[in-house]
């Protein structure tokens, strides 16, 4: 009985200690780490189509048919516009007939030459006659070649009475309508390639030499960031804004249209290492002071906190470089630091690992 009473008394003596520990403020800690320093810059850009074509006819003519409307999606090779081709159709028929006539005359000339050669020059037919028939064959061949070339020219001209899509895309604008007379160079409609989009950003010139294979471009997509591939850096500086053009390929997951504005974050390495902490560890005061709460181990799984003034460098990926005031492997408070005071004891609510 006495031993049972002793156990009960011992447990009761522990209760105030446990209760006191539970009453301590709960915090989360993080270790000050040493890592490569990354510099970030926010960019504002524009979504541009890789191909935008102002479609026009190669020959003059009367608009006979317009097969598309603004907003229509077309495939490469689809007929968009047709010009009145009645006259050129008759020209083509005449050119084909002349070519057929020349082909028949050539066949007849060749037959007459074979006949003369079979008789034998100098015996039953004069040698000059054989030569004349040979010349006739050569002339007929030349005539056929000339008329075939003329026929192909008319065929090409007839084909140019149709305007076809040079690539898959969307008709963004239609400028002409039925019955209008158009000449070469007159814009009939605008075709935009909406499948191959590029994101164009003007980047400060100081970043040009620092962009390498390790640099990352993150495109804002609602509340998330999507990685985009840097396609090209245009090595021409704008003397007014002191920027250069960075062109990136649109991520498949991001829904954008040509002409839309887009925001991105460019991250480049500085080539230096430094101490970093989470942004949540930083306390900022109205007078410009910045501090962190450092935690030192105490007794019974408790920690003692003290506030330390720090100087900050660049920020990146949710972290901030600390240029002075901290040492590597120190523990700093990243959660629960809103109502701490100097020297109080705290307990670990949940330990974050990095």
- pLDDT tens for 39-54 read 889 999 999 999 999 9
Nearest residue to 30 via CA among 303, 314, 310: 303
Task: For residue 239, name the pLDDT band (cuts at 50, 70, 90).
Answer: confident
Residue 2 is predicted with a pLDDT of 46
Mean pLDDT score of the chain, rounded to an integer? 87
Q: Residue 336 pLDDT more than 90?
A: no
Nearest residue to 208 via CA among 238, 249, 171, 165: 238
pTM equals 0.66
Which domains, and CATH codes, for the chain? 24-36+273-348 (2.40.420.20), 41-51+194-272 (2.40.30.170), 59-83+161-193 (2.40.50.100), 85-160 (1.10.287)
Q: CB of 334 within 8 A of CB of 294?
A: no
- CA 155 from chain centre, in angstroms, equals 40
CA distances in angstroms from 131 to 36, 109, 122, 285, listed in the order given: 91, 12, 12, 110
Q: What angle do CA 236, 240, 242 make, to 5 degrees?
A: 55
CA distances in angstroms from 105 to 98, 138, 149, 160, 204, listed in the order given: 11, 11, 17, 31, 74
Q: CB of 228 within 8 A of CB of 199?
A: yes
pLDDT, mean of residues 182-209: 93
Q: Residue 122 pLDDT more than 70?
A: no
Q: Residue 339 pLDDT more than 90?
A: no
Q: CB of 230 within 8 A of CB of 245?
A: no
CA distances in angstroms from 259 to 52, 93, 94, 167, 256, listed in the order given: 12, 47, 50, 19, 9
Residue 103 is predicted with a pLDDT of 95
Residue 3 is predicted with a pLDDT of 52
Q: Residue 9 pLDDT more than 50?
A: no
State how far the Cα of 311 lies from the Cα of 187, in Å rounded to an integer: 60
């Amino acid at each position: 009985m006495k031993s049972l009473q002793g156990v009960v008394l011992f447990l009761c003596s522990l209760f105030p200690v446990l209760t006191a520990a539970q009453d301590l403020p709960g915090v989360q800690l993080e270790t000050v780490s040493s890592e490569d320093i990354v510099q970030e810059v926010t960019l504002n850009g524009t979504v541009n189509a890789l191909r935008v074509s102002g479609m026009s006819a190669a020959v003059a003519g009367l608009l006979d048919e317009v097969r598309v409307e603004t907003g229509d999606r077309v495939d490469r090779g689809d007929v968009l516009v047709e010009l009145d081709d009645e006259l050129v159709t008759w020209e083509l028929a005449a050119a084909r007939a002349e070519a057929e006539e020349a082909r028949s005359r050539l066949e007849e000339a060749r037959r007459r030459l074979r006949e003369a050669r079979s008789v034998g020059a100098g015996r039953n037919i004069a040698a000059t006659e054989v030569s004349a028939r040979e010349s006739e064959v050569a002339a007929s061949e030349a005539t056929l070649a000339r008329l075939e070339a003329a026929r192909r020219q008319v065929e090409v001209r007839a084909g140019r009475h149709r305007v076809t899509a040079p690539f898959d895309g969307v008709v963004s604008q239609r400028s002409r309508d039925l019955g209008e007379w158009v000449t070469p160079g007159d814009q009939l409609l605008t075709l935009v390639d909406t499948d191959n989009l590029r994101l164009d950003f003007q980047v400060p010139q100081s970043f040009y030499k620092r962009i390498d294979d390790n640099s990352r471009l993150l495109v804002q997509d609602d509340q998330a960031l999507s990685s985009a591939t840097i396609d090209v850096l245009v090595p021409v500086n704008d003397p007014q804004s002191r920027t250069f053009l960075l062109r990136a390929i649109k991520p498949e997951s991001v829904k954008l249209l040509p002409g839309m504005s887009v925001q991105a974050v460019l991250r480049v390495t500085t080539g230096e290492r430094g101490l970093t902490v989470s942004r949540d560890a930083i306390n900022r005061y109205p007078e410009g002071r910045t501090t962190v709460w450092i935690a030192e181990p105490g007794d019974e799984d408790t920690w003692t906190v003290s506030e330390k003034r720090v100087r900050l460098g660049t920020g990146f990926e949710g972290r901030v470089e600390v240029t002075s005031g901290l040492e590597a492997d120190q523990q700093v408070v990243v959660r629960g630091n809103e109502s701490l005071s100097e020297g109080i004891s705290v307990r670990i609510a949940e330990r974050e690992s990095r």
